[in-house]
Structure 1
């Protein structure tokens, strides 16, 4: 059991006495409703789980007409004070402290920005006019009013951002601010509005009401001066004596640099913002909070011990497992359901207007509900398929008291997750399979590997309910969303699928074509893996770029940076035919044909038809009449790009609850 020197010890920020140094950074749980039981339950679960300091994210300081209504708390609106109060009271009930984050979202087309000389970079491709001084002063007042409402609701303090793409960065950064009046020019002028907000809050809120700022301390990614300017901003704030903490991020500017703002598993490091925080620590005399994909509490404790930060912030670690702090403190690391860093169930869902959740945690939004109720009648349940959908279904069914047997055709559990976890950058995905397998063992689920589910075996097991979670496999004929006709020559022995390569250990020659029309991460991952083995890899796709399904979350940028130096990239192209030596390509728009000669292997990453045969066999089987049959996950509707694991686990939970 790890010994923590700092992370789980009391700490003080301003007048606040905190029980530990775990800071739940603001993240918008879109879709839970404003002040609903679901929203309150979300925060309460994480306070109960051990977070010492928390933030209610993205509370609007002014109306934001371009943001869908009901997404975020309106801190400017007195009618939303009761919603804030409900969250605050629930969090305080577990000895945690909580503040409101007030954000100017720049989402009102009737209002300008700092300077019309700079393109808008947050919500839309536009370039608003410059604000008038009267509008600036009204926005200052709006922040102060939002803070007053937070105080009235019982919150312990207020935080507002000047980084990460939030609106006020358009004033503080020289990249955006080209004003020539008292709100532009030198740093003091560019910070004038921020200091007016701080002064107003200090004048009109109680002395023990804490105040912090989130600062993007390094803006080099869009051409800024970088740390030199960020450090000057932080020093100015600290020297004012009116700010209680600084939360430091770096390089993160949405949407252009989202991959730094929300680091995925591809970045392969913990504490991606800490390098900047460590420099900030040298020039300020107030607590510094930072993080960036902190998965390991021991690592967080080490960062504090090394003097790089005073507190660590976490978001996805406690989204995935609300008990992450308590389990870490108590040495229960194997029980932690870890974030796998795919960003799909959390940030990507919010980008497309869906309720935010978590790929590995299907309980998001249900934390306020009572524990699972025992089944009304105990059944013998057979789960056919040991991928994420089948494992989650087995777990929930067993938790409710059913007698559960899980049959897996192969020798390993995990399905498509086990396949993906063999690829560079995706190794973290294996953890959800580890965690589920651990839980299945604790709930006495009988697991039979190397066992194919058949109607005869299911009848022999006297199943009363069957869950078919047989998943999907990559197509062997090259059919894709871009090419419905089979590709000629895909029946040749040197043409492989991802399953052949990653699960069947098929060997490849020196010159390999990876044909990917799924727009996801598996094709690029295979290409990178083979290139790292010294193979000559040609990557062919009908798309215009790599991993286009994850552009919203910036992972395509990381993949492109990793892969393009290692392979030959041929976009906007389909394969017309494969023969024993050559591959014929056709450009999707010009129709021009070219031939790749002397190709040793072609790997098809094109689509994933469901493995549905067992379902149809059971429906037609006379020996299985009367059995309650459920079809879930990829066997019901296969997903070859985003949300495959997310939907599979949610589907498993859903069916486990109705058995």
Structure 2
């Protein structure tokens, strides 16, 4: 493959639009990738291709990646992927597909678990079943070639069945597929041989490989180097795509904002220096400056950038034109994947509500410009103001505080939230560039809003602190005051967690980083049930390193001095926790919708959005703003 630059987009389209669904689903998926290809991405590794699975009649595979038929066996695979590939080729990009078979659903080399948080014991493959899968890789390669793809990437990472064979942690076989590194690689080599027999030199073939495994007993960077060198020596592969992380741990393979940009590039460079073939590296490469540094330092020949392109499809255009301040930053919150796979919600990017809506095209300018007053300059209000100003409306924001950003401006005080601060600064520049009339220190009431005589009023007044009805709660500090420094904590700190996402963990991170011993009390069976496995490991790892203690299934019933009374939510058994110097409430917010309720009875064209309607996260605020902007 001849690439026009050194940027590849690794697979992530399954969350954005189902290429294998209806025609409308496929068109949405293709439109997403097309927008990025037209902006300059050289290599679209955008076809996530599960091969056919095999099991006895009646067996039901479970878990992410548990496929039955496999995508390459779909009757419309060739037609659908030809449509995808032809569109990307017309935009100047090359296209490859992955070949994936998740390990443990149900297949594995031995009855050994790959991680400590999954306890489903797999089925051990026999030689006949291995040969069956090799044939399936061969068949899938034939279909990939028919579909006019440029390349194939074999998936040897992130709990893939082939990784389970490569790994000394999970491969305890005593036959020719186990033991030495060469034997553990035998299945992968047989599959690659089958693929190469089909495609010859007409297609690029490579592997995506964990440069190390994250669980004790797996291979380290030296082991990753040995595997990469051995696969190169076979002459079967043209590139190695090196990544880090697991599907569940610290780090996950989709690294959130707790890690430095390009944090593992130097490890990829260690392996690259031992190879002759090109190396791709993906791993929180979230901007053109990071990408240039990875390449300039010789750590990779090509960089993979997924979430950066979700946040801003024109990132390469803006970089090429020197407009890096205009690039919408990815905040690394991972709602892009967690919404889909944890909450069952449609795909959504926290900072780019247009992502996955490329099929709708660019929003046209308004036929008639309206005067819009947005009350509240938090994330929802800022996004609505920007979108409507871009459509040609005359927009003003009234913000009672001295800065825009709402509660997100408070959250940026937590450790590792610098990307959220960058996003707010970007939004502020965007509003200024659009000429939005931003009035800080301006409190709104029904009378002065009505006197403004705007055509449309949007109330985005956010939420107030929620103090639960716990005796003694009024003596505790709240998360907002702790993060801003308005309240100080001393000694041992107990955090009352009544929030299903990040805030209780973020304030525990903030306080423990300052040297305090922290205990977090949850009424749920585990921490942050909406956080998701692609982000939870990062923050839990940080807190574990500082010996933050967790107590689960306990509801705080009273706060009295240095003691906190608790009740097991299932058994009802009462208990007492003692020895605490400070208590912090991380209990969410309550919608501040009073202004909206007053206005809606006195005028038309008044709307409510964001936390003023129901307290949620950044991604909810921006998506609500996008939906409302479509109606104005």
Distance 1:571 1:86 in 2: 50
Question: In structure 2, do the counterparts of structure 1 residues 568 and 162 end up closer, same or farther at CA, with 3 Å as the change threshold?
Answer: closer
**Secondary structure of residue in 2 paired with 1:491:** helix
Correspondence for 2:629:
656
Distance 2:136 2:515 in 1: 59
**1:601-653 C-alpha deviation (Å, 9 max, x unpaired):** 432111311111111111233xxx2x2121111111212xxxx1111100000
**Offset at 1:72?**
11
Distance 1:123 1:243 in 2: 33
Question: In structure 2, do the counterparts of structure 1 residues 511 and 20 end up closer, same or farther at CA, with 3 Å as the change threshold?
Answer: same
Distance 1:69 1:233 in 2: 26
What stretches of structure 2 of length at least 5 have no aligned partner?
55-60
Correspondence for 1:254:
247
**Secondary structure of residue in 2 paired with 1:55:** strand
Correspondence for 1:431:
422
**Offset at 1:358?**
1.4
RMSD of equivalent CA atoms: 2.7
Distance 1:452 1:503 in 2: 21
**Offset at 1:509?**
4.6
Distance 2:118 2:577 in 1: 41
Correspondence for 2:331:
340
Distance 1:265 1:527 in 2: 16
**Offset at 1:552?**
2.1
**Offset at 1:303?**
2.3
**Offset at 1:218?**
1.1
2:29 is equivalent to residue 39 of structure 1: yes
Does the 8 Å CA contact 2:494/2:580 hold for their aligned counterparts?
A: no
Correspondence for 1:365:
356
The 5 Å alignment of 1:4-23 reads 16-23=1-8
2:99 is equivalent to residue 102 of structure 1: yes
**Offset at 1:455?**
1.4
Distance 2:199 2:562 in 1: 74
**Which of 409, 423, 433 is the aligned partner of 1:418?**
409
Question: In structure 2, do the counterparts of structure 1 residues 322 and 102 end up closer, same or farther at CA, with 3 Å as the change threshold?
Answer: same
Once the two structures are overlaid, the 10-residue window that deviates more, 557-566 or 22-31, is 557-566
Correspondence for 2:52:
62
Distance 1:448 1:290 in 2: 45
**Secondary structure of residue in 2 paired with 1:160:** strand
Does the 8 Å CA contact 2:565/2:576 hold for their aligned counterparts?
A: yes
Question: In structure 2, do the counterparts of structure 1 residues 123 and 548 end up closer, same or farther at CA, with 3 Å as the change threshold?
Answer: closer
Correspondence for 1:8:
none
Correspondence for 2:600:
619
Does the 8 Å CA contact 1:121/1:254 hold for their aligned counterparts?
A: no
Question: In structure 2, do the counterparts of structure 1 residues 455 and 71 end up closer, same or farther at CA, with 3 Å as the change threshold?
Answer: farther
**Which of 486, 490, 505 is the aligned partner of 1:524?**
505
The 5 Å alignment of 1:224-239 reads 224-239=218-233
**Offset at 1:97?**
1.0
Correspondence for 1:450:
441
Distance 2:153 2:183 in 1: 21
**Which of 154, 157, 171 is the aligned partner of 1:177?**
171
Correspondence for 2:293:
302
What stretches of structure 1 of length at least 5 have no aligned partner?
1-15, 479-485
Correspondence for 1:389:
380
Correspondence for 2:74:
77
Correspondence for 1:52:
42
Does the 8 Å CA contact 1:239/1:284 hold for their aligned counterparts?
A: no
**Which of 597, 605, 618 is the aligned partner of 1:645?**
618
**Offset at 1:577?**
2.9
Correspondence for 2:514:
533
Correspondence for 1:282:
273
Question: In structure 2, do the counterparts of structure 1 residues 615 and 583 end up closer, same or farther at CA, with 3 Å as the change threshold?
Answer: farther
The 5 Å alignment of 1:346-357 reads 346-357=337-348
State TM-score, norm by structure 2: 0.91
Does the 8 Å CA contact 2:37/2:91 hold for their aligned counterparts?
A: yes
2:108 is equivalent to residue 113 of structure 1: yes
